[in-house]
Structure formats: structure tokens, C-alpha cells
């Protein structure tokens, strides 16, 4: 693979704009090469000149750098000194920029090379500025983590000593137990805010303090001389001294624990009372704090790794592009420029590497009991591997699905089922049962297609959804699950293709009639299976998001939650199929394929409730976000969901009681909801229809190169919305069209979210820290 493609594939997706634009600089070098070739063709004639041109043409081949071995080192250095001069220019504040002075601008074609070095400087200054900003952010986070670890270690000390009070003397006596006067003075200096340690010493102090203090507590718990901290322990033993520093004692007096609301009860409690609880030293709080700190350290370490990768990739890119310039121009300017790069902040600073080492040591000692393998497994999760058995299995199940569809078609034709008197009874009773699996399979196929295109166009969907690295499902896994479910459901359809009842019993076989219910039970058991099989982490993630949707607005709304709620709005017919299962097998006579569901007022009422529930969930989620974030857009989104609820209610009321007034109200509410929903999806969720964008009526940045795709998607979106809102019949075709529409929406919705993250350089999750302080 060429370096340009490898460079792009290794980028942090949300930082693409901050990387060196390697392809742009390559186009400038191509212009230089083109100019030199044209000049050479016009100035060199004859066989001798052609031979020389052929020999020198090897300089422009991919591996022509080997010919530089024929040059002498001394002459190369002299020539290098005469090509460029690189100077550091101090700007406003502490900003430092680099400017390259090209000394050969008077040569023929020197203007092209002058442009190259100007653009090269622009790219380098952009890279180093971004890197400095990110390193400064990291150092600020280091200080915050240091303060959090001070409090956590002090909290552990208090948990080991339940009778310990918060007064200075008792705390100091334990934390400074058997320390020398010099160490006590150092501890006092650390307790002072004015003399807080430098950022790079922070993580190192965490390592020293944590291990020594816990050992200190262990020794004190087993020694008889606990009440006398400054005397010898045991007969003939020397004073026990520890080289550590005490945490800031005043933090323990003014600290509060921020336990994020994770249950409906805690949310209601936080709404009615202060969500920040005083430090009570309960075991449960300590476990929650440790889990939050582990997540904070893990995410912080990922940021350090990506920053280190960013530095390495850009340094390599500058090395590649300057050496490519040397090959094309037969100069030797890369040595001087790369020396400047190595001496710059991004090339010479080692803060990130040192902080990474300290974070590793701290995490291993305090969160994995000294087990390095366990700790590094958490800090550096392995990338997900593609397994051949998944590809084989999805191919096998896909082939079985096709074979079963062919078999069903042949059986329908052989038995002449379309002309059978029992076909109407089958469509009223059995078809709604099996259509549930058809809707689920189609939705899963669309989601696997979404994943495929997200990966193709480099949409960072694992980060956007918040999947743990290495656990996200690829399109092969999702398609494999959909194909497996399709095989089960199609096999069940074949078992229920009998159209005639047994003439003796006047009923169908009870065992075969229970097949659809058995399939539902299998799917539910798999979803709630506690064993680590069939993608357990993904199932738990889905169930957690579903619980957050059901309990809205009692859970904090995240992107996976409202994304799943949007999927539910497109699966109204599937939800009604579940309702039909309860009615059919609970109150119907399934052995005779008879039911009275549609004639029941209770069933019709619940049909309305089921149709409204997904939109009601979105309405509550929008209200929660509006209250928390104070963003008016969430309020407008809530009104959009409310308009859909009103439209559905008016339509059902018109179906139940025909009348001109209800007809007008249903048509008007449906039109308003259709316009509002279509506008919101296209303009807000997709970010399209921007008049002044570089891509007319689209947006400035597009991942799909073909603009027509966006216009087709917009037209399809409006078309399906009209059909969905009118809800003239509960047919599978209309429901399938809505699922297809939702699949299209999913891709462009996440594309827009990805581009928003890129525009704001958001590449990390925001992990809340457990402690807050009243300084």
C-alpha cells in the first residue's frame, strides 16, 4: 500500500483536518515534476541528451532514492546548506512559527519550489499548533486526575479506618505516620495550593502515594503500636519510614461525590433533592467511584495513544514528502528541514510518552492489583478480528434462506394455495404472526448495510454510539444474525402452510400452530441469555438502551438511546404484531385459526397506544434534553414528535368514527406532521438544504462523492413519510417501505453526526469524574 493511503487509513477520523495534507503537497510536487520534464524536453535534443535524460529519469521512479549513494557526503552537505534556511519566528504570546527561506528561487522553475515550501510551512505550523493545544489539554486533565486520585486514596484510608475523624491532627498523624521532619515539611508544602506540583510530576506522585499509603494501613492494622506513631514497632526493630507524601487533607473536608443518575429512583431523588451527596464512606459509593475512575483513566489513556500516533504519523509524513521533493528536484533539502522538525516541539517533546508510562503504572497498581497483563488489557483493548467462520456461517444461512424461499414458492404453486378457501383465514391469523420476523430481519439487513457504508466512507460509528473497543458488531455479524433468524422464521412458515383443518377434529395441529410463539420465545431467551454467547456485550448494550427508552425521561439521554427510539418509530407494525401475539394466543382459538382481536375495543385501544408509544418516548427524551441542556432545538424536536402523536390520534379517530370534521382534522394534522418531520430529518438531522454551501442545496462536507445520492434520499424520505403517517392499512408492504426509509435515514444521520464531531475535533467520550470540590 502506498504511503498516502496508509496515512489516511491510520488517521484519527475526527482529526482529519488537523493532519498534514499529504495529497495536496504531492500535487505541488507533481507540478514541479511536470515543469521539469517539459523544460528538459525543450532544451535537450540529440541522442546524447536523450541518453542523459533517460539516466536522470530514474530519479523520478518510486525507488530512485537509491541513486543518491553515488553522491559524496561533503558536496551534499554544501548543497544542502545552500538550498533552504529554516527560521523560528515568535508570534503573539508563546506561539512559535517556522518559516523556510528558499535560496534557489531565482532558478528556472524556482517559483514552484517556493510555493511548495510555503505550503509545507503552513502544514507544519498547523500540525504543531494543534499538537500543542492537545498537549495542554492533556496536562490540565492530568492535574484533575491527580486531585481525584488524592481523594480516592484518602477515601480508601477512611474506609479502612471507620472511626477516623476529619480533624487535621488525626488525619495527619496517620498519613504522616513515622515520616521524617523533612518529609512532613514536603507534605505540608504539597497541601498548599500555591505550591502545587508541576503537571509532569502529578502521575508519578499518584504512584508513590497510593502504594505506600495502602501498605501503611496494612502495617498499622497488624502492629500493636498503632497508638504511638513515632515510636519503634516491636522489640529491636528500626523505625519504619516511608518515602511518600500525604494527600491534601482539606480536600476530604470539602469533597462531594457526584454519582450520575443511573436508575429512575436516583433520577427522581436528584430532581427532588441535591444530586451531589456528602461523603458518607459507604462501600457502594467507593465501588462506584472506583468504576468511574477506571473509566476516566482508560479514556484518558486512549487520548494519549491517539496523540502519540498523531505525532508519529505527521513526523513520518513530513519525512516522506521532503524526501520525495529531493528525488524530484535532485536537491538535498530534506536534511535541513527534518532537523528543524526533530528540534521542534512535536519532534522533541516527550511529555506524552512519560505521562503514558505514569498512567500505566498507576492504573496497574491501583485498579488491577498489580497485575500488569490485566491492567494493560483494559487500557489497550485488542482490535476486533474478522473471523472466517462468521463469513462461512452467514453464507451458509443466506443460502438456506434462499432455498427456503424457493421451497415456499414451489409449495404455494403445487398446492394452489392462492385459490384455497383457507387463504383468507391464513392471512388474517398466521401472516401477522410471521410478519414480525420479516420486519426484524429487514431492519437488521438495513443496519448491516449501514455499517458497511459507514466503514466504507470512514464514519466512526463505534465512537459515536459509544461501543467499547473490540465489542462492536461488523456488518458480517449483523447479517449473520439476520440470516439465522430468517432461516428459523421461513422454516416455521413452511410448517404452517396447511390451509385445511383436520376433518375429524375440525382444527389444525396444535404443535405446528405454536411454532410462531416458540420462535418468539427463542428470540426473547437469546436476548436475555446471561451466558457469554451470541454477542453478549452487544445484547446487553441493546437491552440497556431499550430500558432507557422505556423509562424515559428518567435516564440521561445519550445518542444511542434516542437513535434506538427513532428505530422504534419505524417498527410500529412490528410492535402491533407483538400485541397480536398476546391477543391471538391468549384470547383466540389458535387451533382453529380464529380470533376476534379486530372486533375488540380493548384491542383497538391498545393498537392506538402501541402506535403512539415510540413517538411519546421521543417526546419525553426531547423534553429531558431541553431541560438539561437549555437548547431550544430540543424543544422544537419535542413539538415535532407531538405533532406526529396528534396526527396518529386523529387518523385512528377518523378510522373508528367516520365524519367530515374528523377527516379534515386528520388530513390537516397529517400534513403538518409530514412537513415538520421531513424538514427536520433533511435540514436538522442530515444538515442538508443549505443554500450557501459549496455543494448547492447540500452541505459543505460530503462523504459520498456522488451528489445525486443525497437528492434521491431526500425525495425518498418525503415519499415514505406520507405513506407512513396516513396509515390506511396495516399492510406489510407499507411497513417494509418505512423500514427501508429508516435505513436510509440512519446512514445520513450518522454521517452528519460524524462530520459535526470532525468539525469540533471531538474524538473522545466525556467521562464524568466522581468528585467535586468546594475550594
Mean pLDDT of 690-707: 88
pTM beyond 0.85? no
Q: Name the pLDDT band for 547 (thresholds 50, 70, 90).
A: very high
Q: Answer whether 434's CB lies under 8 Å from 492's CB.
A: yes
Calculate what percentage of the chain has a pLDDT beyond 70. Answer: 76
Calculate what percentage of the chain has a pLDDT beyond 90. Answer: 35
CA pair distance 273, 265, nearest whole angstrom: 12
> What pairing do the DSSP bridges indicate for beta strands 771-773 and 277-278?
unpaired
Please say if the pLDDT value at position 267 is more than 60.
Answer: yes
Q: Which three cell numbers stand for residue 374?
A: 490485566
**DSSP letter assigned to residue 588:** S
CA pair distance 428, 93, nearest whole angstrom: 77
Mean pLDDT of 743-752: 93
Instruction: With CA atoms as reference, report the closest residue to 648 among 662, 618, 675, 669.
Output: 669
Please say if the pLDDT value at position 198 is more than 60.
Answer: no
CA pair distance 638, 619, nearest whole angstrom: 5
Helices (H), 423-514: 423-456, 461-465, 475-495, 510-513
Q: Which residues of 339-374 are buried (b: 16+ CB within 10 A; e: fewer)?
A: ebbeebebbeeebbeebbebbbbbbbbbbbeeeeee
The reported pLDDT for the residue numbered 35 is 85
Q: What does the pLDDT look like over 138-164, one tens digit per residue?
A: 898 888 888 888 888 888 877 776 665
Q: Answer whether 680's CB lies under 8 Å from 633's CB.
A: no
Domain that holds residue 256: 1-43+75-148+252-382
Length of the chain: 775
CA pair distance 128, 345, nearest whole angstrom: 7
Mean pLDDT of 22-51: 76
Q: Is residue 590 part of a domain?
A: no
Please say if the pLDDT value at position 188 is more than 70.
Answer: no
Mean pLDDT of 501-511: 72
Q: What is the DSSP string of 251-275?
A: HHHHEEE-----SHHHHHHHHHS-S
Mean pLDDT of 332-342: 89
Mean pLDDT of 225-254: 44
The reported pLDDT for the residue numbered 43 is 67
Q: Residue 370, by phi and psi: left (phi above 0), alpha (psi -120 to 50) or beta?
A: left
Q: Name the pLDDT band for 502 (thresholds 50, 70, 90).
A: low
Count of domains for the chain: 1
Range with top average pLDDT, 207-211, 374-378, 534-538, 759-763: 534-538
Q: Is residue 307 part of a domain?
A: yes
More confident residue, 350 or 403: 403
Question: What is the dihedral angle through the alpha carbons of 43, 48, 52, 57, rounded to the nearest 10 degrees?
Answer: 70
* Cis ω for the linkage preceding 722 (within 30 of 0): no
Please say if the pLDDT value at position 30 is more than 60.
Answer: yes
Lowest mean pLDDT among 130-144, 245-259, 344-358, 432-446: 245-259
Question: 233 by DSSP, 3-state: which?
Answer: coil
Please say if the pLDDT value at position 729 is more than 50.
Answer: no
Q: Name the pLDDT band for 480 (thresholds 50, 70, 90).
A: very high
Q: 594 has which bridge partners?
A: 589
Q: Is residue 21 part of a domain?
A: yes
Q: Is residue 341 part of a domain?
A: yes
Q: Name the pLDDT band for 132 (thresholds 50, 70, 90).
A: very high
Phi, psi of 257, rounded to the nearest 5 degrees: -95, 130
Q: Which residues of 5-19 are buried (b: 16+ CB within 10 A; e: fewer)?
A: eebeeebbebbeebb
Please say if the pLDDT value at position 311 is more than 70.
Answer: yes
SS (H, E, C) 69-102: HHCCHHHHHHHHHHHEEEEEEECCCCCEEEEEEE
115 CB-side CA count, 13 A: 13
Q: What does the pLDDT look like over 282-293, one tens digit per residue?
A: 777 788 888 888
Q: What is the DSSP string of 407-425?
A: HHHHHHHHHTGGG-TTHHH
CA pair distance 80, 310, nearest whole angstrom: 29
The reported pLDDT for the residue numbered 620 is 95
Mean pLDDT computed over every residue of the chain: 78
Mean pLDDT of 61-87: 49
CA pair distance 138, 302, nearest whole angstrom: 11
Q: Give the position of cell 475512575.
A: 293
The reported pLDDT for the residue numbered 79 is 45
Instruction: With CA atoms as reference, report the closest residue to 475 among 556, 391, 363.
Output: 391
The reported pLDDT for the residue numbered 597 is 84
Lowest mean pLDDT among 162-166, 584-588, 726-730: 726-730
Please say if the pLDDT value at position 490 is more than 90.
Answer: yes
Lowest mean pLDDT among 62-66, 398-402, 654-658, 712-716: 62-66
| Burial class for 731, CB neighbours closer than 10 Å (0-12, 13-18, 19+) | exposed
The reported pLDDT for the residue numbered 491 is 94
The reported pLDDT for the residue numbered 506 is 61
CA pair distance 281, 114, nearest whole angstrom: 66
**DSSP letter assigned to residue 502:** B
More confident residue, 663 or 249: 663
Q: Which three cell numbers stand for residue 515?
A: 411454532
Range with top average pLDDT, 250-254, 348-352, 638-642: 638-642
CA pair distance 752, 196, nearest whole angstrom: 43
Give whole-number Cα distances, 693 to 188, 684, 703, 704, in Å. Answer: 59, 15, 15, 16
Q: Answer whether 87's CB lies under 8 Å from 98's CB.
A: yes
CA pair distance 205, 146, nearest whole angstrom: 8
Query: At CA 453, angle to CA 450 and CA 455, rounded to 5?
Result: 110
CA pair distance 146, 713, nearest whole angstrom: 50
Amino acid at each position: 500500500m502506498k504511503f498516502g493511503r496508509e496515512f489516511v487509513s491510520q488517521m484519527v477520523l475526527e482529526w482529519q483536518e488537523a493532519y498534514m495534507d499529504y495529497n495536496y503537497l504531492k500535487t505541488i510536487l507533481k507540478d514541479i515534476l511536470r515543469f521539469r520534464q517539459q523544460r528538459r524536453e525543450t532544451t535537450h535534443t540529440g541522442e546524447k541528451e536523450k541518453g542523459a535524460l533517460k539516466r536522470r529519469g530514474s530519479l523520478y521512479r518510486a525507488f530512485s532514492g537509491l541513486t543518491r549513494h553515488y553522491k559524496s557526503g561533503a558536496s551534499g552537505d554544501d548543497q544542502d546548506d545552500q538550498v533552504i534556511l529554516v527560521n523560528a519566528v515568535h508570534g503573539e504570546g508563546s506561539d512559535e512559527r517556522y518559516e523556510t527561506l528558499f535560496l534557489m528561487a531565482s532558478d528556472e522553475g524556482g517559483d514552484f519550489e517556493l510555493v511548495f515550501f510555503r505550503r509545507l510551512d503552513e502544514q507544519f505550523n498547523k500540525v504543531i499548533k494543534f499538537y500543542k493545544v492537545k498537549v495542554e489539554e492533556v496536562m490540565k486533565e492530568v492535574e484533575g486526575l491527580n486531585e481525584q486520585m488524592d481523594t480516592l486514596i484518602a477515601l480508601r484510608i477512611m474506609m479502612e479506618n471507620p472511626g477516623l475523624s476529619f480533624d487535621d491532627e488525626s488525619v495527619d498523624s496517620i498519613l504522616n505516620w513515622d515520616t521524617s521532619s523533612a518529609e512532613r515539611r514536603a507534605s505540608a508544602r504539597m497541601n498548599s495550593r500555591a505550591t502545587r506540583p508541576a503537571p509532569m510530576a502529578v502521575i508519578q506522585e499518584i504512584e508513590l502515594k497510593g502504594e505506600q499509603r495502602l501498605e501503611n494501613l496494612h502495617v498499622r492494622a497488624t502492629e500493636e503500636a498503632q497508638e504511638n506513631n513515632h515510636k519503634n514497632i516491636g522489640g529491636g526493630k528500626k523505625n519504619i519510614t516511608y518515602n511518600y507524601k500525604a494527600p491534601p487533607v482539606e480536600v476530604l473536608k470539602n469533597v462531594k461525590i457526584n454519582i450520575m443518575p443511573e436508575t429512575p429512583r436516583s433520577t427522581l431523588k436528584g430532581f427532588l433533592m441535591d444530586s451531589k451527596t456528602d461523603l458518607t464512606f459507604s462501600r457502594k459509593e467507593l465501588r462506584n467511584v472506583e468504576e468511574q475512575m477506571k473509566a476516566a483513566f482508560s479514556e484518558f489513556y486512549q487520548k494519549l495513544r491517539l496523540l502519540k500516533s498523531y505525532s508519529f504519523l505527521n513526523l513520518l509524513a513530513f519525512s516522506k514528502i521532503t524526501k520525495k521533493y529531493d528525488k524530484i528536484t535532485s536537491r538535498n533539502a530534506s536534511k535541513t528541514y527534518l532537523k528543524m522538525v526533530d528540534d521542534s516541539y512535536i519532534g522533541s517533546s516527550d511529555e506524552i510518552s512519560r505521562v503514558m508510562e505514569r498512567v500505566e503504572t498507576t492504573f496497574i497498581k491501583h485498579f488491577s492489583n498489580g497485575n500488569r497483563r490485566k491492567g494493560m488489557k483494559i487500557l489497550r483493548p485488542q482490535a476486533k478480528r474478522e473471523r472466517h467462520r462468521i463469513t462461512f456461517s452467514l453464507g451458509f444461512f443466506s443460502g438456506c434462506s434462499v432455498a427456503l424461499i424457493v421451497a415456499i414458492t414451489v409449495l404455494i404453486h403445487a398446492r394452489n394455495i392462492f385459490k384455497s378457501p383457507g387463504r383468507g383465514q391464513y392471512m388474517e391469523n398466521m401472516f401477522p404472526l410471521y410478519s414480525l420476523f420479516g420486519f426484524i430481519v429487514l431492519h437488521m439487513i438495513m443496519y448491516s448495510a449501514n455499517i458497511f457504508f459507514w466503514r466504507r466512507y470512514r464514519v466512526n460509528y463505534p465512537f459515536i454510539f459509544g461501543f467499547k473497543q473490540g465489542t462492536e458488531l461488523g456488518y458480517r455479524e449483523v447479517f449473520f444474525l439476520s440470516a439465522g433468524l430468517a432461516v428459523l422464521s421461513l422454516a416455521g412458515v413452511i410448517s404452517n402452510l396447511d390451509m385445511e383443518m383436520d376433518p375429524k377434529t375440525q382444527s389444525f395441529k396444535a404443535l405446528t400452530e405454536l411454532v410462531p410463539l416458540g420462535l418468539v420465545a427463542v428470540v426473547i431467551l437469546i436476548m436475555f441469555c446471561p451466558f457469554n454467547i451470541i454477542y453478549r456485550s452487544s445484547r446487553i448494550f441493546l437491552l440497556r438502551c431499550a430500558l432507557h427508552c422505556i423509562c424515559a425521561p428518567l435516564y440521561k439521554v445519550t445518542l444511542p438511546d434516542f437513535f434506538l427510539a427513532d428505530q422504534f418509530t419505524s417498527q410500529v407494525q412490528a410492535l402491533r404484531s407483538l400485541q397480536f401475539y398476546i391477543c391471538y394466543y391468549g384470547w383466540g382459538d389458535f387451533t382453529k385459526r380464529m380470533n376476534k382481536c379486530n372486533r375488540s375495543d380493548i384491542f383497538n385501544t391498545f393498537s392506538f397506544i402501541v402506535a403512539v408509544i415510540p413517538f411519546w418516548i421521543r417526546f419525553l427524551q426531547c423534553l429531558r434534553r431541553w431541560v438539561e441542556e437549555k437548547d431550544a432545538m430540543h424543544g422544537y424536536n419535542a413539538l415535532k414528535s407531538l405533532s406526529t402523536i396528534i396526527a396518529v390520534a386523529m387518523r385512528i379517530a377518523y378510522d373508528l368514527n367516520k365524519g367530515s370534521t374528523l377527516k379534515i382534522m386528520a388530513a390537516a394534522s397529517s400534513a403538518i406532521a409530514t412537513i415538520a418531520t421531513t424538514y427536520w430529518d433533511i435540514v436538522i438531522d442530515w444538515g442538508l438544504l443549505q443554500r450557501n454551501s459549496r455543494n448547492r442545496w447540500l452541505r459543505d462536507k460530503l462523504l459520498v462523492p456522488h451528489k445525486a445520492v443525497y437528492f434521491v434520499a431526500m425525495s425518498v424520505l418525503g415519499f415514505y413519510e406520507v405513506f407512513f403517517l396516513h396509515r390506511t392499512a396495516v399492510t406489510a408492504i407499507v411497513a417494509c417501505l418505512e423500514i427501508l426509509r429508516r435505513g436510509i435515514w440512519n446512514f445520513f444521520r450518522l454521517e452528519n453526526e460524524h462530520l459535526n464531531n470532525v468539525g469540533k475535533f471531538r474524538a473522545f467520550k466525556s467521562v464524568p469524574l466522581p468528585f467535586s470540590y468546594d475550594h
